[in-house]
């Protein structure tokens, strides 16, 4: 009522996003205080930054003339390893993710299996690929096998979670209709669940392929094979023109992957 | 035709035609060959002696991790605080840069197709390169420390937030935008009144989602010297102090779970 | 006041949406634009405020040639033309008052509008308009919390806050039920009379057009095929505009009209009182507009 009479006299302000004034101010003050403290605890060595600026410029300049050739052999080996790791780990990961995903769907799995599968998913999703890679490198030795297992493990967590969510909100009437014909558990999965989740599963696998490639470029840092090792070496040697070349290749492959997967997704839907 | 007729004249039904069936088999065969080829490359580059040893190494690792050296947690509060700051400040910086880029990249708000392609290049470059690689580069440029981590996270977030946001902008209802233009509003006013209110919830959701991912990513940035708990992790691994490593793992696990919970709650509230 | 001459519109796909439109609208006249779907009605009114660029021809509002304006000049010209949309085109997540005030965007600078600091007289006028359309109480509601009829009233208030000389109205009733449609049309009619506004109303419903317009223009295939008073709109002419159809009203229609009148009186709309909803049955549609326009 008050706001109406005010508006009639020409006084109108937008209603505040958070209605309670004390809460509004508390949030604003809290945010400002946090920012002040957080920025205050950043220690910056400005002399070092100033010194590094020339290197930064070198790096930017390197993109203008990337050097694909002088470390050609290393780059090709690294890329080949990365690509093979990507492909095998995605296939293995997706294959393992399907049973785990089924087990982690509340509506079709019994309690103990549900808990087990959910904990696998949580562990796999919480830790960065690189942490897992460290452990697997210790176990399996340096090389692409450790990288592949790492990526497969991460794929299981990613895919199984999304698959389980998909299964949890699928159209239950179709499942009941198939069940009503007297189908067994396997037949129900094949005729009612699979057709509903398949297109998205394929789309997600393509997406994960893309992610796995990007990740394969970093796990080499801890010795798990792939282009990451080459990149790491080139950066620590300040050979920015080679690093720029590798980064450009990575960007190109990711673009290609995305282009391909958008086609596959359109084709499956 | 899926329905064909046998020699005796009775129609039979198959899911696919013979040709489609064979093409399907061929595709599977090709996929299998490719997989085996890849597998061969990997196996050639693997020292199988080490792999045979894996079980023993693994159990050894677990034995050395147990029991965790809990007192070590005392030294982890400062690195953890740094990690949180890297993630939060990095996200803030990232979304501040991603916001204009997304508007330049969306087909319906971009001022010019040329600018749109430029914005797309920024988004793709930022998305393709992992934050750890950004961190590696920045550490050589800025020197080791939290600042390199913050900027690495920010650079990686531009692409993620930018892509999701420009897709959201392209999906808005065009009629309110048309209506606001019809009042004689300027370009910026049309953005402010017609576009912004429609994408605000999506923007908030995407940002908090990215923050959650960034918490995860910032835990490892220290491995390349960009600050946070990863530095401790690196030090402990190098000195083979696995009982400290397990404490760090527990800390990371707990932090990520909490941030995921917060992110889920906030996203639930805004959407 | 508004004069169109030789206006053509051809889309990049090659479709000719409008061919040689000659039209002039005196001050204060309410003109209904009828015609089948795809006849170019929407394109025509969007050409006037340049949401669609006409390919050739000239459009003059008073002394301004609209087709050659750009930038600031175009925005100033758009202020003089209020537009009302079929799907209301309100910004759902803004409040009712913000939606109405957005009609003033052409008059205030960016920062003022960004901070929502509108001049006092704009707020007074906005509130007066909200009162006039009967929504003063909904001031702070979000636009998506309103019913269809209420949203269209907000849309009208927004258009009027521009203090336009001309209203361009695109299917104002297409998303509304019959009773609300008539209320909205009556409101538009009254407001045009109060402010001496010219109006071009695209409308599917021939009966509503006949009742509320001073003049009817029929469009078919991008050409004007009829221009005259509502009384002159005979069944022959309807056939020219829409194509062959049995335009006579049957007994069924009279009953429905009665029912409608009753429903209007008691203020409740019930099942059989929806004469302007299309029936897919093969018999002649009960109301002209409904069957004809599909």
CATH number of the structural domain spanning residue A228: 1.10.3720.10
Is residue A234 domain-resident? yes
B101 in a domain, yes or no? yes
Q: Tell me, what's the pLDDT at B163? A: 93
Q: Is B12 domain-assigned?
A: yes
Domain that holds residue B122: 80-270
- Residue C255 in domain: yes
Q: A76 falls in which pLDDT band (50, 70, 90)?
A: confident
Q: Give the pLDDT band (50/70/90) at residue A232.
A: confident
B32 assigned to some structural domain: yes
Report how far apart, in Å, the C-alpha atoms of B24 and of each of A88, A261, B30 are. Answer: 21, 19, 10
User: Structurally, how many domains does chain B consist of?
Assistant: 2
Q: Which of A34, A56, A217 sits opposite B133 (nearest CB)?
A: A217
Q: Is residue C29 part of a domain?
A: yes
In a domain, residue B206? The reply is yes
Contact C127 A4 (CB under 8 A): yes
Which residue range forms the structural domain that includes residue A107?
Answer: 69-268
Put simply, whether B29 touches C (Cβ < 8 Å) is no
Q: Residues B90, B24: one domain?
A: no
Question: Phi and psi at residue C279, in whole multiples of 5°?
Answer: -110, 140
| Residue range A41-62: mean pLDDT, rounded | 82
Task: Name all chains with 3 or more CB-CB pairs below 8 Å to chain A.
Answer: B, C
Is A44 inside a domain boundary?
no
Q: Is B42 an 8 Å CB contact of chain C?
A: no
pLDDT at residue C287, as a whole number: 37
Domain for residue B56, yes or no? no
Give the pLDDT confidence score for residue C250 in this predicted structure: 54
Domain count for chain A: 1
Whether residue A15 and residue C126 make contact (CB cut-off 8 A), yes or no, is: no
Asked if residue A12 belongs to a domain, the reply is no
Question: Does B264 lie at the interface with A, CB-CB under 8 angstroms?
Answer: no
Which positions in chain B touch C168 (Cβ < 8 Å)? 182
pLDDT in tens, B135-173: 988 888 888 888 899 999 999 999 999 999 999 999 998
CB-CB under 8 Å, C118 with A8:
no
pLDDT of residue C8: 86
Give domain status of residue B154, yes or no: yes
Give me the pLDDT at residue C293, please: 35
> What is the domain count for chain C?
1
Write out chain C residues lying below 8 Å of A12, CB-based: 97, 101, 118, 123, 126-127
Whole-number pLDDT of residue A61:
84
Position B90 scores a pLDDT of 94
pLDDT in tens, A132-152: 888 888 888 888 888 888 999
Closest residue of B to A148, CA-based?
Answer: B42
Low-confidence ranges of chain C (pLDDT < 50): 254, 257, 264-294
Query: Helix B196-218 and helix B77-105: axis angle, to 10°?
Result: 150
C-chain residues within 8 Å CB-CB of A13? 116
Chain B residues touching A84 at Cβ < 8 A: 37-39, 41-42
Mutate to test the interface with B, among C105, C117, C155, C200 (most CBs of B within 10 A): C105
**Strands lying side by side in the sheet with C223-228:** C81-84, C166-170, C198-202, C30-34, C215-220, C223-228
- Please check whether residue A73 lies inside any domain of the structure: yes
Q: DSSP string spanning chain B?
A: --EEE-TTS-EEE-SS-HHHHHHHHHHHHHHHHHHHHHHHHHHHTS-HHHHHTHHHHHHHHHHHHPSP-GGGGGGGHHHHHHHHHHHHHHHHHHHHHHHHHHHHHSTTT-S-HHHHHHHHHHHHHHHHS-HHHHHHHHHHHH-SSHHHHHHHHHHHHHHHHHHHHHHHHHTS-HHHHHHHHHTT--HHHHIIIIIHHHHHHHHHHHHHHHHHHHHHHHTTGGGGT-SSHHHHHHHHHHTT-HHHHHHHHHHHHHHHHHHHHHHHHHHHHH-
CATH number for the domain harbouring residue B171: 1.10.3720.10
Residue of chain A whose alpha carbon sits nearest to that of C140: A15
Which element (helix H / strand E) includes C219? strand C215-220
What band does A80 get if pLDDT is binned at 50, 70 and 90?
Answer: confident
Do residue B33 and residue B93 come from a single domain? no
**pLDDT tens, position by position, B39-76:** 888 877 777 777 777 778 778 888 887 887 788 778 88
Q: What is the pLDDT of residue B49?
A: 72
Q: Which H or E run contains C129?
A: helix C120-132
Contact A7 C139 (CB under 8 A): yes
Q: Measured between CB atoms, which of C77, C79, C102 is closest to B180?
A: C102
Please list every residue in chain A whose beta carbon sits closer than 8 Å to the beta carbon of residue C101.
Answer: 12
**C222 within domain boundaries:** yes
Q: Can you tell me the distance from the alpha carbon of C152 to that of C158, in angstroms, rounded to the nearest whole number?
A: 10
Q: Which residues of B touch A212 (CB under 8 A)?
A: none
Q: Give me the CATH number covering residue C59.
A: 3.40.50.300
Q: Could you tell me if B167 and B221 lie in one domain?
A: yes
Which residue range is the domain that position C249 belongs to? 2-80+164-293
Q: Given this model, what pLDDT does residue B149 score?
A: 92
Q: Is residue C256 part of a domain?
A: yes
Same structural domain, B151 and B197: yes
Residues 120-149 of chain C whose Cβ lies under 8 A from any Cβ of chain A: 120-124, 126-128, 131, 136-137, 139-140
Q: Does residue C134 lie in a domain region?
A: no
Is A2 part of the contact surface with chain B (CB cutoff 8 Å)? no
Reported confidence tier of residue B123, pLDDT bands at 50, 70, 90: very high
Joined together, the tokens standing for residue A160 give 């199984």
pTM greater than 0.80 (yes/no): yes
Is the model's pLDDT at A159 over the cut of 50? yes
Is the Cβ of B271 closer than 8 Å to some Cβ of chain C? no
* Residue B135 sits in the same domain as residue B248: yes
pLDDT digits 0-9 by tens, C76-85: 888 888 999 8
CB contacts of C95 in chain A (<8 Å) are 14-15
**pLDDT tens-place string over residues C217-226:** 888 888 888 8
Minimum Cα–Cα distance from B256: chain A residue: A126
Per-residue model confidence (pLDDT) at position C256: 52
Cβ contacts of C139 on chain A, cutoff 8 Å:
3-4, 7
Residue B60 resides in a domain: no
Q: What pLDDT digit, counting tens, does each position of B81-122 carry?
A: 999 999 999 999 999 999 999 999 998 888 889 999 999 989
All residues of chain B having their beta carbon less than 8 Å from the beta carbon of residue C78 are 181-184
Contact across the interface for B184 and C102, Cβ inside 8 Å = no
pLDDT in tens, B176-197: 999 999 988 888 899 999 999 9
Cross-chain Cβ contact C162/B183 below 8 Å: yes
Domain for residue B75, yes or no? no
Taking the CA of residue B60 and the nearest CA in chain A, the distance in Å comes to: 9
Cα–Cα distance measured from residue A80 to residue B41, given in angstroms and rounded to the nearest whole number: 8
pLDDT at C260: 52
Q: Which residue of A has its CA nearest to C130?
A: A8
């Amino acid at each position: 009522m008050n706001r109406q009479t005010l508006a009639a006299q020409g006084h109108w302000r937008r209603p505040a996003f958070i209605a309670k004034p004390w809460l509004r101010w508390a949030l604003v003050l809290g945010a400002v205080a946090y920012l002040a403290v957080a920025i205050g605890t950043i220690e910056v060595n400005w002399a070092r930054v100033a010194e590094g600026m020339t290197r930064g410029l070198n790096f930017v300049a390197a993109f203008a003339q990337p050097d694909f050739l002088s470390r050609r052999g290393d780059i090709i080996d690294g890329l080949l390893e990365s690509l093979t790791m990507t492909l095998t780990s995605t296939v293995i990961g997706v294959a393992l993710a399907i049973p785990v995903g089924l087990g982690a769907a509340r509506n079709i799995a019994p309690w103990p299996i549900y808990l087990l599968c959910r904990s696998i998913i949580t562990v796999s999703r919480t830790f960065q690929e690189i942490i897992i890679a460290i452990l697997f490198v210790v176990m399996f030795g340096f090389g692409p096998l450790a990288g592949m297992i790492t990526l497969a493990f991460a794929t299981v967590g990613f895919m199984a979670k999304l698959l389980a969510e998909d299964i949890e909100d699928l159209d239950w009437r179709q499942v009941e209709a198939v069940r009503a014909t007297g189908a067994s558990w396997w037949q129900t999965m094949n005729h009612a669940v699979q057709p509903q989740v398949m297109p998205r599963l394929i789309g997600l696998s393509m997406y994960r392929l893309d992610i796995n490639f990007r990740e394969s470029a970093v796990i080499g840092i801890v010795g798990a094979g792939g282009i990451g090792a080459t990149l790491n070496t080139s950066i620590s040697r300040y050979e920015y023109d080679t690093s720029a070349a590798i980064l450009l290749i990575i960007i190109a492959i990711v673009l290609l992957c995305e282009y391909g997967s958008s086609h596959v997704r359109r084709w499956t839907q | 035709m899926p329905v064909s007729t046998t020699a005796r004249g009775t129609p039979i039904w198959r899911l696919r035609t013979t040709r489609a069936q064979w093409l399907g088999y061929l595709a599977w065969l090709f996929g299998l060959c490719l997989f085996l080829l890849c597998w061969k490359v990997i196996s050639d580059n693997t020292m199988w002696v080490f792999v045979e040893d894996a079980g023993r190494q693994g159990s050894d690792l677990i034995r050395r991790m147990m029991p965790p050296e809990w007192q070590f947690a005392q030294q982890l509060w400062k690195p953890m605080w740094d990690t949180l700051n890297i993630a939060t400040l990095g996200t803030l910086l990232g979304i501040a840069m991603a916001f204009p880029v997304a508007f330049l990249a969306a087909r319906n708000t971009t001022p010019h197709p040329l600018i749109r392609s430029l914005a797309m290049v920024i988004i793709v470059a930022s998305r393709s390169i992992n934050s750890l690689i950004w961190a590696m580069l920045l550490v050589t440029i800025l020197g080791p420390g939290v600042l390199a981590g913050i900027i690495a996270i920010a650079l990686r977030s531009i692409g993620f937030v930018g892509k999701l946001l420009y897709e959201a902008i392209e999906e808005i209802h065009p009629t309110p935008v048309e209506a606001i233009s019809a009042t004689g509003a300027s370009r910026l006013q049309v953005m402010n009144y017609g576009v912004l209110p429609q994408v605000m919830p999506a923007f908030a959701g995407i940002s908090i989602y990215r923050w959650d991912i960034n918490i995860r990513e910032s835990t490892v940035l220290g491995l390349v010297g960009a600050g946070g708990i990863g530095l401790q992790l690196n030090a402990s691994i190098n000195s083979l102090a696995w009982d400290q490593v397990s404490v760090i793992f527990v800390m990371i696990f707990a932090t990520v779970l909490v941030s995921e919970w917060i992110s889920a709650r906030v996203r639930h509230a805004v959407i | 006041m508004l004069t169109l001459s030789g206006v053509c519109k051809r889309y990049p796909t090659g479709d000719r949406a409008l061919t040689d439109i000659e039209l002039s609208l005196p001050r204060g006249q309410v003109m209904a634009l009828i015609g089948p779907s795809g006849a170019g009605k929407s394109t025509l009114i969007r050409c006037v405020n340049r949401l669609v660029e006409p390919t050739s021809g000239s459009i003059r509002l008073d002394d301004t040639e609209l087709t050659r304006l750009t930038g600031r000049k175009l925005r100033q010209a758009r202020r003089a033309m209020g537009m009302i949309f079929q799907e209301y085109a309100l910004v759902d997540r803004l409040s009712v008052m913000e939606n109405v005030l957005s009609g003033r965007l052409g008059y205030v600078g960016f920062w003022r509008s960004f901070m929502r600091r509108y001049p006092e007289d704009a707020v007074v006028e906005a509130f007066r308009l909200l009162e006039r359309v009967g929504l003063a109480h909904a001031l702070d509601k979000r636009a998506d919390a309103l019913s269809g009829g209420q949203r269209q009233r907000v849309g009208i208030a927004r258009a009027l806050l521009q203090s336009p000389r001309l209203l361009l109205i695109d299917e104002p009733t297409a998303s509304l039920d019959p009773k609300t449609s008539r209320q909205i049309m009556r409101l538009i009619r009254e407001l045009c009379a109060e402010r001496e506004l010219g109006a071009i109303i695209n409308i599917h419903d021939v009966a509503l057009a006949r009742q509320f317009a001073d003049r009817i223009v029929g469009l078919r295939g991008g050409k004007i095929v009829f221009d005259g008073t509502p009384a002159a709109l005979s069944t022959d002419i309807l056939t020219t505009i829409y194509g062959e159809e049995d335009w006579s009203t049957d007994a069924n229609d009279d009953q429905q009209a009665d029912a409608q009148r009753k429903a209007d009186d008691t203020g409740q709309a019930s099942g059989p009182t929806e004469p302007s909803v299309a029936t897919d049955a093969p018999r002649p549609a009960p109301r002209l507009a409904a069957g004809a326009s599909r």
